[in-house]
């Protein structure tokens, strides 16, 4: 925070952050934003969250609810208001027209069509603009959006469940249940928030997973991504029976002519094939952004996790450790994944049923 704010400003921005959190998992490719309008006498007269893409931005939702009571008031929003026309009109013009006297925004929008321009437009209209209140909290809420805009790839959450001796399976090629119901539920909650869940072809062959969201509600279809350079995924995989839950995207490298038949067989299942230019995971991830995928839950296996660490594309880690051991015959988790756990920033360690959850940021945020 670059300056001292009165307690009332902090209170209203915290409310805006709560509203933004309600929109998580619903707004891609737009950021999840919260806003509230406070009248001259200190009363909240409008509040809102970003609607799904094509719908109203949070500021407009709040202003629509406030109506004429917004005049002379203060607008609190978790992201700089936009000043350009996209699927909707610029929020800055609605703010000016509503007679807002002051805007308090948490963080600048990284989109080059907006960055700084929203603040400039508001100040040109005579509106007082204060930036930076709850900056870190607002940034963390929208790290997928910021990552996609600034780095050109999705935000990557590496997730693994391991035994006490660091194994992800009891034996090679055999699906192994490791964690109990509470940890499994937390995984489903992560799936409900991200744009895509991803695995490598090895996991597809060993586990034949559905990769769907279960036990929790998800509003949008969930993209399932399979990183499969050699097109080893069989057309009979169970994931292709779940297309009603969301698209199945297979990211592959430029293949030899013999691979064309396998590619056509996979397309016949309804899968979408994305051909990478250079075969790197970083390039493969970048090709997901135009498909409106800004966050990926990378669920494994060890080979895919290893590639993600080598190419430095992991942003957050979620690990579950179960109170069991598989011994020397077990399939080891990626060494880089295991080594990351003690070095995470702002990490949390929690008991999750019989298991332990460890999560945190790979890089310092804010």
Question: b vs e for 149-159, b when ≥16 Cβ sit within 10 Å of the residue's Cβ?
Answer: beeebbbbbbb
Own/partner pairs, 6-10, CB within 8 angstroms, 24+ separation: 8/42, 9/76, 9/104, 9/130, 9/133, 10/133, 10/134
Rounded Cα gap, residues 332 and 300, in angstroms: 12
Q: Which of 59, 80, 108, 359 is catalytic?
A: 59
**3-state SS record for 186-233:** HHHHHHHHCCEEEEEHHHHHHHCCCCCCCCCCCCCCCEEEEECCCCCC
Q: Residues near 53 by Cβ (< 8 Å), separated by ≥ 6?
A: 27, 28, 29, 30, 87, 292
Q: Residues near 364 by Cβ (< 8 Å), separated by ≥ 6?
A: 345
Contact between 105 and 113 under an 8 Å Cβ cutoff? The reply is: no
Rounded Cα gap, residues 9 and 239, in angstroms: 48
Active site includes 303? Answer: no
Active-site annotation, residues: 59
């Amino acid at each position: 925070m670059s300056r001292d704010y009165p307690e009332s400003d902090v209170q209203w921005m915290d409310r805006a952050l709560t509203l933004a959190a309600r929109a998580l998992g619903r707004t891609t490719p737009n950021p999840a934003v919260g806003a509230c309008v406070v009248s001259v006498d200190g009363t909240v007269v409008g509040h809102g969250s970003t609607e799904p893409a094509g719908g109203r931005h949070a500021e407009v939702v709040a202003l629509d609810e406030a109506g004429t009571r917004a005049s002379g008031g203060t607008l609190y929003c978790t992201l700089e208001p936009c000043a350009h026309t996209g699927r909707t009109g610029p929020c800055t013009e609605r703010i000016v027209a509503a007679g807002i006297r002051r805007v308090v925004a948490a963080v600048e929008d990284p989109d080059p069509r907006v960055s700084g321009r929203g603040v400039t437009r508001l100040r040109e209209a005579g509106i007082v603009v204060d930036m930076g209140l709850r900056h870190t909290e607002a940034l963390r809420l929208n790290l997928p959006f910021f990552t996609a805009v600034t780095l050109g790839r999705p935000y990557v959450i590496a997730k693994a469940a391991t035994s006490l001796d660091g194994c992800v399976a009891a034996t090679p090629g055999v699906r192994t249940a490791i964690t109990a119901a509470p940890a499994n539920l937390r995984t489903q909650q992560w799936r409900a928030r991200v744009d895509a869940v991803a695995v490598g072809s090895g996991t597809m062959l060993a586990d034949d997973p559905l990769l769907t969201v279960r036990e929790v509600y998800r509003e949008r279809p969930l993209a399932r991504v399979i990183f499969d350079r050699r097109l080893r995924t069989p057309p009979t995989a169970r994931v292709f029976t779940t297309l009603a839950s969301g698209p199945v995207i297979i990211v592959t490298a430029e293949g030899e002519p013999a691979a064309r038949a396998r590619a056509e067989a996979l397309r016949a299942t309804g899968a979408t094939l994305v051909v990478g230019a250079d075969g790197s995971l970083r390039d493969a991830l970048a090709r997901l952004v135009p498909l409106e995928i800004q966050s990926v839950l990378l669920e494994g296996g060890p080979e895919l996790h290893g590639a993600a660490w080598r190419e430095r594309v992991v942003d957050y880690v979620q690990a579950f450790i179960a109170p069991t051991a598989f011994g020397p015959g077990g399939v080891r988790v990626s060494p880089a994944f295991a080594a990351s756990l003690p070095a995470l920033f702002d990490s949390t360690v929690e008991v999750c049923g019989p298991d332990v959850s460890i999560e945190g940021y790979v890089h310092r945020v804010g």
